[in-house]
Amino acid sequence: MILQARVKLHPAQRAFLKSEALYRGFVGGIGSGKSWAGAYDLLRRSQPGHLYMVAAPTYPMLRDATLRSFLERARELHLLESFRSGDMVARLSTGAEVLFRSADDPEPLIAMGRVVGQIAREPAGSNGFGFDPVMWIPEFGQ
């Protein structure tokens, strides 16, 4: 089943959704469409069997904006298989799972990792976030 909907996007939302950067961010005020764009983007890009995490600075923000918007989009697109409120995990019909976490309790968010890359001599690329323009990661070709 293919679902289609016509939505008028703000230019910042359009740029965010078009970006192919590995790490991206969307910054804006209350009502700017961050939660909508983030939820739609995750649902659109989620891969079968993969695990994802959505985090918000506070639990009330997670509950009242981020999670609400995600569940609304997932239901609209018929992608929500289940949501377990006890452990804040959504399972999508694709088999992907999404964990919802708050920075109020940072312990579940702490992780260590390593990215091997090269520092570029000058910035290149656009629509990225953070160090994207100055770091080249050969494995990802960006």
Task: Identify each DSSP E strand in the chain by its residue range.
Answer: 51-56, 80-84, 89-92, 97-102, 118-119, 135-136
pLDDT of residue 71: 96
pLDDT of residue 129: 46
Measured CA to CA, the distance from residue 35 to residue 37 in angstroms comes to 6
Measured CA to CA, the distance from residue 3 to residue 27 in angstroms comes to 28
pLDDT of residue 32: 82
Measured CA to CA, the distance from residue 50 to residue 135 in angstroms comes to 26
pLDDT of residue 82: 96
Measured CA to CA, the distance from residue 10 to residue 27 in angstroms comes to 13
Low-confidence ranges of the chain (pLDDT < 50): 128-131
Measured CA to CA, the distance from residue 123 to residue 121 in angstroms comes to 7
Burial 6-22 (b: 16+ CB within 10 A, else e): eeeeeeebeebbebebe
